[in-house]
Amino acid sequence: MAPPIDQQQALDRAVAALLVVRCSGHPADGQRRYPRWELDNASLRRLLQRGVGGVILLGGSAAELRLRTRQLAAWASEPLLLCADVEEGVGQRFEGASWLVPPLALAGIHATDPALALDLARRYGACTGREARQLGLNWVLAPVCDVNNNPANPVINVRAWGEDPATAGALAAAFCHGAQAEGVLTCAKHFPGHGDTASDSHLELPLLPHSRARLEAVELPPFRDAIAAEVAAVMTAHLLLPALDAEHPATLSRPVLTGLLREALGFEGLIVTDALVMEAIAGRYGASEAAVLALEAGADLVLMPGDADGAIDAIVAAVHNGRLSLEQLQASLERRRLALGRCPASDDPSAAAPLGRLSNGPSGPDQALALELVQRSLEQQGQGPVRGGPGVNLIRLDNSLACPFLSATAPALALPAAAGWRACLIDGHGPSPWSGDGEAPLALERLGEGPVLLQLFVRGNPFRGRADGPDPWPAVIRQLQAAGRLAGLALYGSPYAWQALQPLLEPGIPAAWSPAQMALAQGELLGRLGFGPGPSGGTAPGAAVDTDFTD
């Protein structure tokens, strides 16, 4: 016999509250960058009215986000969890807020001055939490607690706070203290540790073949530190650990989520899955079944199921048929309620203003913090300025068509252009610049004459599948030096690429590395190489860009 309608509706809404769906920070449907994953407004509003309890946002400006979060709250009948992947500050995802150096930059500072690094990590967290709250977010999906002890890791890389457990744990805990003191929730990820993997769970299911003893020594300590810092939530990893569960990925594993995280580590907060649309899960389980399995394993919240309505219906059916108990559901709802209770009501005196405090950019202290982090983490070899120019400004990046750090006025383009250097981009979309010769891989005749300033944007990123990209940069360095054409090297991102290329440089070749890639880092690094600020403080209009590698 079916339960009464009012009981059925209450159960439906209770289940819906445990879902977190994704939408764009832009207000209009036509502005969505990733419509495959971002709900249109009609669907979003309907799901919120059905009772869906959380939204993850991506894209848009800080001002748009402030209005968007208000809109979502108005559409929902209950308080929402509003979150974003802002691991490098709110400006990483929402233009106009503070974009900070990647967390791994602070690991280098920690090696020489631990007290300073811990203070910077706390301030980093405070900046992130404060700006998130000012824009209407109450949940920051950071810090990454993975130990990036595998340089070939294609997806964690500079997102981690350290390459050893002690550094990663101490800095992640400091971030939690700073952010949560500003009235937002934080989230330690990706449990039980995604740092020592050579594949990307966005694309496939990674295997972590380590024993429980090894996990206790390397992967788990940063999560213990975050739990001690009262982190509000822990996010699961989509990876297989045969030592704990030979059948299910960690996200769907009761031995991992309940046995290890809840019982062994004593975590009492929210357990949230990583996005269920990632191929490590979506390629193996149906969207509805994955949501049920995650809750069976001990998760409280389901992030980005492939079909939100189907997931709600499947979870409700699992309660009716006994796979999931009402008691477990109520326990998850109570943890969610307690988490939201940690977020105080807004005391922002500008709340009545439509765009708020960040409508004209970050505060002076936060701008100073962003610059200090860039300056302290930057490394330089040789003394600038770059000599022998103007010539070719050869820039390598993943994708110039969707590149938030390389607009037409970005310093990497504008500062050399102001000095007469002609830009050429390598981004995988234009004709290949490669000759096919392993010893001299770059087709120099396609670049034109003159010295070459080599600017490389290289870091691990989701969906790329590689940490360093496929390009033969050591051979390029040797080739350009043999031809007498290497004027300088600017590297942004991976410390491992810098460690591989820097020893190959001849004495006197000016070079610098920043773990960050945004405009602030570009301007500071190129300033070290002798390129002065453009007419607008680091930008120069009309920078010529050539993507076809012809004269």
Among 290, 306, 304, smallest CA distance to 250 is for 290
Among 304, 405, 388, smallest CA distance to 88 is for 405
- What does DSSP say about strands 379-381 and 511-514: parallel, antiparallel, or unpaired? antiparallel
Half-sphere exposure of 460 (CA within 13 A, CB side): 27
Integer Cα distance of 348 and 134 in angstroms: 7
User: Cis link prior to 416 (omega < 30° from 0)?
Assistant: no
Integer Cα distance of 230 and 236 in angstroms: 17
Tokens of 106: 């602070």
Integer Cα distance of 493 and 515 in angstroms: 4
Is 161:221 a contact under the CB 8 Å cutoff?
no
- Amino acid present at 254: R
94: DSSP letter: S
Integer Cα distance of 118 and 539 in angstroms: 33
Tokens of 123: 């301030």
The yes-or-no answer on residue 274 being catalytic is yes
Phi, psi of 90 (to 5 degrees): -65, -30
Q: Check 274, 300, 366, 468 and give the catalytic one.
A: 274
- What does DSSP say about strands 302-303 and 19-24: parallel, antiparallel, or unpaired? parallel
Q: Write the burial class of residue 222 (CB in 10 Å: 0-12 exposed, 13-18 middle, 19+ buried).
A: buried
Integer Cα distance of 321 and 310 in angstroms: 16
534: DSSP letter: -
User: Cis link prior to 344 (omega < 30° from 0)?
Assistant: no
Is 477:486 a contact under the CB 8 Å cutoff?
yes
Phi, psi of 4 (to 5 degrees): -55, 155
The residue written with tokens 């981690």 in the block is 160
Among 457, 478, 461, smallest CA distance to 413 is for 457
- Amino acid present at 64: E
Name 189's Cβ contacts closer than 8 Å, sequence gap at least 6: 141, 142, 143, 144, 145, 146, 234, 235, 236, 237, 274
Is 514:374 a contact under the CB 8 Å cutoff?
yes
> Within 10 A of 3 (CB to CB), how many other CB atoms are there?
11
User: Cis link prior to 462 (omega < 30° from 0)?
Assistant: no
What residues are annotated to the active site?
274
